Amino acid sequence: MAVVSWKEILLLTGLVVGCYWNSLSCGFVFDDVSAILDNKDLRPTTPIRNLFLNDFWGTPMAEERSHKSYRPLTVLTFRLNYLFSELSAASYHLLNVVLHAVVCVLFLRVCRLFLDKTSSLVAALLFAVHPIHTEAVTGVVGRAELLSSIFLLAAFLAYTKSTSADRSIVWAPIALTVVLVAAATLCKEQGITVVGICCVHEVFVAQGFTLPMLLHTMRQVLQGKDGFPYAVLQTLLKLIVLVISTLLLVIVRVQVIQSQLPVFTRFDNPAAVSSTPTRQLTFNYLLPVNAWLLLNPSELCCDWTMGTIPLVESLLDLRNLATLVFYTFLGLLAYHSLRYRHSSARTVIMALSLIVLPFIPASNLFFPVGFVVAERVLYVPSMGFCVLVAHGFRIVSHKGQLKKISWLMIGVLLTTHAVKTFNRNWDWESEYTLFTSALKVNKNNAKLWNNVGHALENQHNYARALRYFLQATRVQPDDIGAHMNVGRTYKNLNKSREAEEAYLVAKSLMPQVIPGKKYATRVAPNHLNVYINLANLIRANDSRLEEADQLYRQAISMRRDPEFLTSRANRTETPPLLLKMNKLTEARDAYLRALELDRANADLWYNLAIVNIEMKDPSEALKNFNHALELSPRHKLALFNSALLMQESGDENLSLM
């Protein structure tokens, strides 16, 4: 196997830097906000062990609202970024660019196993510049793909050295492979699929089996006509070790997520909640959609959820032809690679394994995922695609009359892809540029209209934001969140009547509570805020306090857990609604129940102290002010009110407490 030269490393690195240097001027957008800006696990004050207890977004794995994405090693790199530069986005983007360059070099090394020196370099160059990678490289959260790919490729390279010259097993590379697979999985879940790639390589490349040969050997053994050859026994032993290691990793992974899958709504993945045959037809149609993104990455979109891709509801839908063509082409490639032993067949089978196996976790085959299409999950599958393109280039370039044309075509392809990638990076400069670019590709996704509205809202441009939120309600009339956004924006524009009307529409879309059925599994938890928002709006009218209180109670009755603790706090915020209604005991009890769920919340202790003052219990109030200050020494309101309480009381014993 030819090694990678320094010239090739410099060429790949230079190309990556040339394509992605403008990403350093981009900020934190889309999922970066939750993973970086809002994630307390990045802060030095958070214990390191929390990274191994929480999901990718900083939510405890045990909580129902957890996304169940367990990637502590990726979060650890975010934390290192924060340690050196806090929230300077440039450093996060710079590390992503460096990691992409490392992946490209490792990929070139892997390509040398199946391709000659020239075509393997073509594959690596195409991978370096492919526009489908902008989401994984320029989007900071795409680091999960980058890190997982590094360990995945390293694990595969280690495994290829597990057989010695005399065909005996070398156990050290296998042990290293298992460790690297575990590391890849701790960066992103799809890292575990490298085990399948290793198995394909072992059987069809290292041992040189074809599918007919494999079936014949198994039939001979089952009929007792022949035993397993020594080489086959060696192969079986290695594969058994890999499979057992994989099963152990899966078991640990299942335990980490508390044996629960994340809760997604029908807006995240509409086909997942559709009936037969719509679900199957749509999921199968998504395969050629992903393949087309690799072939023609011209219209890229950061969010493919909701109505981006209409459901395929009938066998007569013409889009089924695309599915048929995709499976026909895939079947022909598989037939070619599994039936023959020549080098071309081995290259194709490894390319197919790189395409298919890493994509399986995102295919909805075993469990529904929270997206329709996600460009960054194509990062590893695109490696197999690049191998196929380079293999085709090698075949064509060896034909004398087509050699110059093939070189011209590959040059044009690399140039156009590099330009597309560079231009696509500018879309990730801000949330406004990202979502407006997505709307140019797709106008049927209400989430995109909402997100542009949010970006304008953050700029305090409420009038323009309202237009986008209203358009979201037109595109998706049953989108509760869109109507909530309209209501909030009307409130910011001081249009209380219109705000209330919008909230009432959102409330009417909420599913009715079914006794004995867990409500949270049927609706996104944040949608319950419609009750809180509506109550906060109408409580300004003293004649509607009871109505507001009823809405708070309704929200609280639907979720009695820490995730919805804010509803309890809102219900008794300062000036406390229940105090305003002269329900002092109920206000105190509400705070005490909230503190049972979250005793580390300084605001709850502070508000409880305010209730104690109203109940003429200064000693208890001061004690609760002190609790708040222990948790948050800079809690200005607690400091001021505790000092004021001691001064006004004139009680020397109280001031010494």
DSSP codes, 17-68 = HHHHGGGGG----THHIIIIIT-GGGSTTS-GGGGGTB-TTS-BTTSTT---
Mean of the pLDDT values across residues 1-9?
A: 83
598 vs 585: CA distance, rounded Å: 20
Sign of the C-alpha dihedral computed for residues 85, 90, 95 and 98 taken in this order? negative
| Segment 441-478, tens digit of pLDDT | 999 999 999 999 999 999 999 999 999 999 999 999 99
Average pLDDT, the chain: 86
Q: Which domains does the chain have, with CATH numbers?
A: 6-424 (no CATH), 572-657 (1.25.40.10)
Using CA atoms, how far residue 232 sits from 156, 157, 236, 399, 598, in Å, is: 20, 21, 6, 38, 59
pLDDT score recorded for residue 224: 67
Token pair belonging to 624: 């609760």
For residue 63, pLDDT over 90 is answered with: no
More confident residue, 74 or 207: 74
Instruction: Identify the pLDDT of residue 574.
Output: 37
620 vs 611: CA distance, rounded Å = 10
- Rounded average pLDDT over 80-92: 95
Q: Residue 369 has what pLDDT? A: 81
| pLDDT-derived band at 521, boundaries 50, 70, 90 | very low
**Percent of the chain at pLDDT exceeding 70:** 88
* pLDDT at res. 497: 92
Burial class for 414, CB neighbours closer than 10 Å (0-12, 13-18, 19+) = middle
Per-residue pLDDT reduced to its tens digit, 253-267: 888 876 666 666 677
Distances (CA, A) of 377 to 148, 329, 372: 11, 22, 11
**Nearest residue to 503 via CA among 527, 525, 520:** 527
571 pLDDT above the threshold of 50: no
Confidence of residue 581 (pLDDT cuts 50, 70, 90): low
pLDDT of residue 566: 45
What is the C-alpha separation between 103 and 109, in angstroms, rounded?
A: 10
Quickly state the pLDDT bin for 524 (edges 50, 70, 90).
low
Query: 210 vs 187, which has greater pLDDT?
Result: 187
Residues above pLDDT 90, as percent of the chain: 56
